[in-house]
Amino acid sequence: MRASTTRPVFQPCSRLHELSAEEAALYAQLDPQKIPQHVAIIMDGNGRWAGKRALKRFLGHQQGAESVQFVVETASRINLPFITLYAFSLENNLRRPKSEVNFLMKLLRSYLVGNVKRMNDNNVRMEYIGRICELPSEVQDTMQWASEATARNTGTTLTLALNYGSRSEIVDAARKILTDLIAEAHQRGCSLEDLIQVDGLEARLDEHHISGALYTAHMPDPDLVIRTSGEQRISNFLLWQIAYSEIFITDRLWPDFRGIHLLEAIQNYQKRERRFGGLGETFTDEDLDALEPAAEVAEEIVTELTPKQLAPR
């Protein structure tokens, strides 16, 4: 399921007074100009949260759904344009016991039914990414209903990644690009080879074409990825899109994660220097002037290294 193409423009509005006192105090320390455009969260640790309390795993997921709502509402109050939550991976679908998968599907439906009003009260629009068509039809129907019921909202876009895997997203994107090219060739009455030769392969396939064919084509890439429960993995989440994202890992388990912790992660993010492969703002022209000329460096390498180190292997 791809998001609808005619979406309302994001309209920030002043809802900071709705933050809790603790959140407001932390928000006051943030730079409002540097609020990320897009935060993506790998929600992890529901099972461990339940295990620590000798509860069934299902109750961890149930508590995790509560966290979703708290965090999304704080995101909407600070005018975060996009928040994407990894709710259910393709691998979860294939590798978890059927009973847990069925429970997660039921929980998703009841979460959507129970929270659409709150989403509307918070001006949040709901969208999805993933191979949604493989989910049970009654789940798809409820998802469709929730996205339609919130489609006119102009605040935060909450995207739930469901039956999502980043590699399969890239496969889907490649298939879409190829299918579109074949259709165009057919329409023009020429072969695919001829079509590509007209403009050249570079003009027909570059990074923009791939980004534009991903499920997330309409969103900026995440500025910040948060993972709860301390695991240091990306788990097949938005691999293409997070090429230059900042990553924040917290030991806190997802069911204990709240809006204040989102603000803490943003505070940490605001202290980072993003370089996107460049040198960053702190690297000045004076630093560049201070660098030794290449010839001197080359000479130093020759004189400093022993013949053995220089010998061909």
Give the residue numbers marked as catalytic.
44, 92
Instruction: Give just the sign of the alpha carbon dihedral 166, 172, 177, 180.
Output: negative
For residues 126 to 165, the per-residue mask of contacts with ligand FPP, x marking binding by CB under 6 A and - elsewhere, is ----------------------------------x-----
Judged by beta carbon, residue 104 or residue 260, the one nearer ligand FPP is 104
For residues 82 to 121, the per-residue mask of contacts with ligand FPP, x marking binding by CB under 6 A and - elsewhere, is -----xx---x--------------xx--x----------
Q: CB neighbours of 87 closer than 8 A, spacing ≥ 6?
A: 43, 68, 108, 160, 161, 162
Burial of 87 (0-12, 13-18, 19+ CB in 10 A): buried
176 binds ligand FPP (CB under 6 A): no
Contact 23, 260 (CB under 8 A): yes
Distances (CA, A) of 202 to 106, 198, 210: 46, 11, 12
Interacting residues with ligand FPP between 22 and 61 (CB under 6 A): 43-48, 61
Closest separation in Å from C-beta 149 to ligand FPP: 16
Distances (CA, A) of 192 to 138, 203, 204: 39, 14, 11
Beta strand 224-227 with 125-129 is unpaired
Interacting residues with ligand FPP between 236 and 265 (CB under 6 A): 254
Judged by beta carbon, residue 38 or residue 109, the one nearer ligand FPP is 109
Interacting residues with ligand FPP between 54 and 83 (CB under 6 A): 61, 64-65, 68
- Can you give the binding site for ligand FPP, defined by CB under 6 A? 43-48, 61, 64-65, 68, 87-88, 92, 107-108, 111, 160, 229, 254
